[in-house]
Amino acid sequence: MDMSQYLEIFIEESKEHLQSLNQSLLQLEKNPGDRAVLNEIFRVAHTIKGMAGTMGFNKMSKLTHDMENVLHALRNNEIEISSDLVDILFKCLDVLENYTANIVETGTEGDQDSKGLSDVLSDLLKNRKPVSEKAPEQAKADASPVSKGAPGIAADLQLDQYETNIINKAADLGNSAYQITVKLNKGCLLKSARAFIIFKTLERHSEIIKSVPNVQDIEDEKFDFEFTVIVLTKAEEATIKKDLISIAEVDEVIIKLIKEKNESASATAADDQLLQEQINVPADIKQSLISSQDKTEAIARKTKTGKTVRVDIDRLDVLLNLVSELIIQKTRLEGLEGIERTQQYVEAIEYLERITTNLHDAVMKVRMVPVETVFNRFPRMIRDVSRELGKEVELEMSGIDTELDRTVIDEIGDPLIHLLRNSCDHGIEPREQRKRLGKPESGKIELKAYQDGNNVVIEVGDDGQGINVEKVRQKIIERGLVSREIAANLSKKDVIDFLFKPSFSTADKITDLSGRGVGLDVVKTKIEALGGTVEVETELGKGSRFFIRLPLTLAIIQALLVLIGEEKYAIQLSSVHKIINITPEDIKMVQKQEVVMYRDTVIPVVRLKDALEVPGESDEEQKIMTLVIVKKGERLTGFMVDRIIGQQEIVQKSLGKYLSGTKVITSATILGDGNVALILDVNSLAY
C-alpha cells in the first residue's frame, strides 16, 4: 500500500507526540511518583509505536516497543525511576527525534542504530524486582492500554455502589438498564465519530450512565473496535438494537438487560484492581450521570477541534500576498486623479477600506502562532545545559499563549536559545557561590512573553550575577575600542551596548569577564532583521534581564512617506518620534557632526540626501527644513528630508536574495502608482 500520502500526517503527528513525550519526561523527572504522567508517557510511546509500525518505520517501532517494556515495568513498580533512567528515556527521545528528522528529509529513518539503547533498556528490565502475584495479569492488561477498555464481548461490567443506586432508582421510575456492547466494523476509519453517532442515537430515547472505555478515551479513539455502555431507557431492547444496527459500520450490537439489585457487584469491583481502574469514574462520566447534556457537549467540543485544518504555510503566504496586492490596489484607487469624488464613490472606497483591513487582520490572525511552539523545547534544553554545567537551574515560563507571526516564530528560536544558554552559563553562578552569597541554591531563569501595544515583548531574565559593567569598561579600553577618557565617561547603557558589537563578541576569551558578549551581536542582528530591538537591564549580583521587542506583524505596516530629491522613501512609523521644522541656523556643528537642539537635548542630524547618495543638486539651503526625528532604542536622530508626503499603510516586500546585503534599506513597498519605494533601515542610518 502506498503510504506516501500519509507521510506528512505521520510526520506532523510524530512531532506532536514527541513534543508531548518531552514534556511528560520533564514532568516525570520532577515528580517521579506521578502515575498519570507515567501513563501518559506509556500512551504516547504506544501511539508512536503503532504509527511507526503502520508506516513501516521499523526502527522507531522497535525502539518504542523497548521503551514500552521498560515503562510497563515502571508502572508495575518492578523497577524504580532514577534520573539515569530518565536520561535513557531522554536519549530514546533524541533518537526518535532523529529518526523523525530523517524521515522529514529523506523519507527514511536513516542509518542510526538504536541497538545500543535497546540493549540498555533491556538491561534495565533484568534488574526488575520480583513481581507480585497480581502483576502478570495486570501487565497483560496494561501492555495494551488501547484495548484495555473492552473486557470481552458480553462480559458484565462491574458497577459501583453509585451506579447501582442509580439503576435501582431508575427502575423505580420504570426505566430499565441495559448493557450494550457495540462492535464496529474493522475497517471503520473514524471510530470516535462513529461512536459519537451511536451516543447521539442512544440519547434519543435513553440516558447513558456509564461507558467503558470512558467517554474521553472514546473521543480520543483509545479503544479497539468495540465499546460498552450502560443506558437507562424506557425503550424496548429491540428498538435500541434496530436503531444501532442501522448505523453504518456497526457490525454487531449485544444488549443485555441489567437486573436491579446488583449490590454484590460493588464488593467484587473493589477487589478487582484492574477493573477498579476502569471504573474509576472520571470527571466527565460523573457529569454525564448528572446530565447527559454535558457529555454531548464534551463530544461536541471534540468535534470542534476536529474542524481545524492543517494548511501549508506557503499557501498562507500566497493568501497574504494576494491581500497585499489588494491593499496596494485600494491605495491606488484612493489616490486616483481625475475622478469625481461623489458621495457614492467615497462610500464605496470607505467600505472597501474596511473590508481590506478586516481581511488583512483575518489573514494575519491565521498566520499567528503561539510562542509556545518555540518555548516548548526550552525546558529540555535548560535541563541539559544545567546538568552539563553542574548547576541547578529552574526555568519559569509565562505567556506561552502570546502569538506572533509565523515568520517571526521561525526566526526567534535561535536568538532565544542563545540568551537562555548565556543566562545558564554566565548568568547563574555555581551552586557553592550562590550558597555563599545567600541566594537560593537553584538559579532561576524567567522566560516571559506578553503583548505590549503593537509589539510582543519576550523577556529573558535570570537571578545570577549580572553584568559587571566596570569589567566590560576595562575590556573596552584594553581592546582599544575607544580611548580611556571616553570610556571612563561612557554611561552604563553605553558600556553594555558594546557587548552587542561584533568586534566585542568575536573576542577570543570573554568568558572570564562576566561572560556576556559571546554571540550577543548575532542575537541583535537577528532581532533587528525581524524589525525588533534588544535591550538589557542588569544589576550586579542580582541578575540580568534581556528585553526583546518584536513587531506583531511584519508584512503590513504604517509608514511615513518622504520625498528626497526626486525619490520617495518610506520610514516605518513605529520608529518615528516626531516631525519638526528647523531653519539652517538651528544646525550646529559639534565634533564635525551636525546637530540640533531638541527639547534640551542635542541630537545628531543625518542629511538623507547625502547618506543615500540621491542624485541631483546638493541641498541649496532652504529657509525651512523638515526634520523627521526617529528613535533607535532610546536615542533620537534627526533625518533631514525634502518633503513629507504622508502616512500610509504599506506592504513590506523583500528585496530578495540579490540585494539582501543592502545596508541602508530593509525592504521595499509598492506604491499606489505601481512604482517601488524603498523602506529605510532606521537602525543603520541613525546614530
Please give the positions annotated as active site: 46, 68, 422
- Alpha carbons 682 and 341: distance in angstroms, whole number: 37
Report 120-159 residues binding other proteins (CB under 8 A).
Answer: none
Does the protein bind other proteins through residue 674 (CB under 8 A)?
A: yes
Helices 283-290, 292-305: crossing angle, 10 deg rounding: 130
43 vs 568, beta carbon nearer other proteins = 568
19 vs 356, beta carbon nearer other proteins = 356
Give backbone dihedrals phi and psi of 647, rounded to 5 degrees, phi first: -95, 140
Name the one range near other proteins by CB under 8 A: 63-71, 481-489, 493-501, 651-659.
651-659
CB of 528 to other proteins, least distance (A): 18
Does the protein bind other proteins through residue 668 (CB under 8 A)?
A: yes
Under rule CB under 8 A, how many of the chain's residues touch other proteins?
29
Is residue 141 within 8 A of residue 148, CB to CB? The reply is yes
Among 289, 678, 682, 686, binds other proteins (CB under 8 A): 678
Does the protein bind other proteins through residue 325 (CB under 8 A)?
A: yes
Tell me the three-class secondary structure of 539-566, residue by residue. ECCCEEEEEEEEECCCCEEEEEEEEECC
60 vs 679, beta carbon nearer other proteins = 679
78: left (phi over 0), alpha (psi -120 to 50) or beta: alpha
The SS3 assignment for 224 reads coil
Report 612-631 residues binding other proteins (CB under 8 A).
Answer: 612-615
CA distances from 314 to 5, 310, 406, 578 (A): 18, 12, 11, 38
Binding mask 536-555 for other proteins (x = CB under 8 A): --------------------
Among 102, 185, 287, 321, binds other proteins (CB under 8 A): 321
Does the protein bind other proteins through residue 657 (CB under 8 A)?
A: yes
- CA-derived radius of gyration, the chain: 33
What nine digits make up the cell of 54? 503502520
Name the one range near other proteins by CB under 8 A: 212-220, 224-232, 632-640, 655-663.
655-663
633: left (phi over 0), alpha (psi -120 to 50) or beta: left
* 400 exposure class (CB count in 10 Å sphere: 0-12, 13-18, 19+): middle
Does the protein bind other proteins through residue 658 (CB under 8 A)?
A: yes
CB of 622 to other proteins, least distance (A): 22
Closest CA to 359 of 210, 555, 211: 555
Is residue 263 within 8 A of residue 159, CB to CB? The reply is no
Name the one range near other proteins by CB under 8 A: 418-426, 430-438, 515-523, 662-670.
662-670
- Alpha carbons 178 and 650: distance in angstroms, whole number: 66
Report 575-614 residues binding other proteins (CB under 8 A).
Answer: 611-614
474 vs 662, beta carbon nearer other proteins = 662
Does the protein bind other proteins through residue 503 (CB under 8 A)?
A: no
The SS3 assignment for 236 reads coil
Among 126, 310, 592, 663, binds other proteins (CB under 8 A): 663
Q: CB 581: neighbour CB atoms within 10 A?
A: 10
CB neighbour burial string for 50-68, b if at least 16 within 10 angstroms, e if fewer:
ebbeebebebbbbbbbbbb
284 vs 681, beta carbon nearer other proteins = 681
389 vs 611, beta carbon nearer other proteins = 611
Among 631, 653, 672, 683, binds other proteins (CB under 8 A): 653
485 vs 613, beta carbon nearer other proteins = 613
Does the protein bind other proteins through residue 558 (CB under 8 A)?
A: no
Report 86-125 residues binding other proteins (CB under 8 A).
Answer: none
Tell me the three-class secondary structure of 348-412, residue by residue. HHHHHHHHHHHHHHHHHHHHEEECHHHHCCHHHHHHHHHHHHCCCEEEEEECCCCEEEHHHHHHH
What are the residues binding other proteins (CB under 8 A)?
Answer: 321, 324-325, 328, 567, 611-615, 653-659, 661-665, 668, 670, 674-678
